[in-house]
Structure 1
């Protein structure tokens, strides 16, 4: 078994202290006529050797053991700070992996995972789950006419609008481009339709300023209520089909399966 340098120095320090203690005891015994006999001169020699060894122990502790302990504590503190920093960074990266950087909403990856968990959890207690797929109307024209910076601002304001109207346990996500989704548990079709229509109306009331131009945008929405047996992908396809139906009927409207 190999010993660390600090352990070897500690053993040396303990040995010096032990021998120094022995000489101090011998000096005391010689001076008082105890087990060690030798008189004053012998006691003085033992006392001198004890003092020398004590001095060596102090030097060893000061120059060898103490610096190693100090360096070890500094390294431990540095490693602890690095670990904490890496932990924070890991949490940030984990959050970034499931968050849309532009709007701050969840992304498609998180939405798909939440959908699978919700179907399993609410299926066990026989509660409904509603899904809404929303898509901004003629959004490409906004980007082409006013630029992507204005288009990004439109997406951010729409995302804020969605967050205002939804509940804390609803899952909001930007699925990509100008498409958003809401996963809303324990809700019936009428309630989900009313929620979607309020959002549609609120989006149409938004005003986005671009210089001396005020933009107005609209959104189409398709919704579906989980039937209790279909997969998440099948539920999404039903809601998406209703979204395209809303587009086909003229946009700025809500259609339900």
Structure 2
């Protein structure tokens, strides 16, 4: 798919992987929808993109809220038309032993990491099916393919996201909609701010963004179903 003038919505795109992907996609000529819970954070990224002569809009969106999701889609349609690519990137991690994880913390991870992908997908998918075109990329995590200590809620949400992605692909392939599971290992983002890990050994968000570009630009005769990216030195 050629990216010029394609409309891309990236959830959780005010920082980390989402921001890096937004900058990279905009540089390729895509029209990028930046959404985050804090509109000022989204606006900062959109401003950076627009100052480079590329195209972006910023919209406040809590991806757990169906009304706010619909608002993003409608605003995008009015300005640029239909969404061609959806990148479900919003996520949160609370790292505790299961016995110490509260019900509210569990629900926060499930709603943000898993349910939001369902809600956003459900909103844009009918249009993609009708046009027999579109690409949905779900940013999972290696915590969605292997367990980690003190990661019960996060792993559960990401395992669920991978399962959702694989079923979605089965259901939409015949309609011309492409679905990819992107599975990055430890990436140097704010999720590690309180950790003692050496962030210099982690994947740079820009490297994940490069992978997203490659996935999106793949010839229409092919599909990257699942892509795992790990730090060069291996898991931390």
TM-score between both structures, scaled by the size of structure 2: 0.27
Question: Whose radius of gyration is greater, 1 or 2?
Answer: 1
**So what's the TM-score if we normalise by structure 1?**
0.26
Which of the pair is proportionally richer in helix? 1
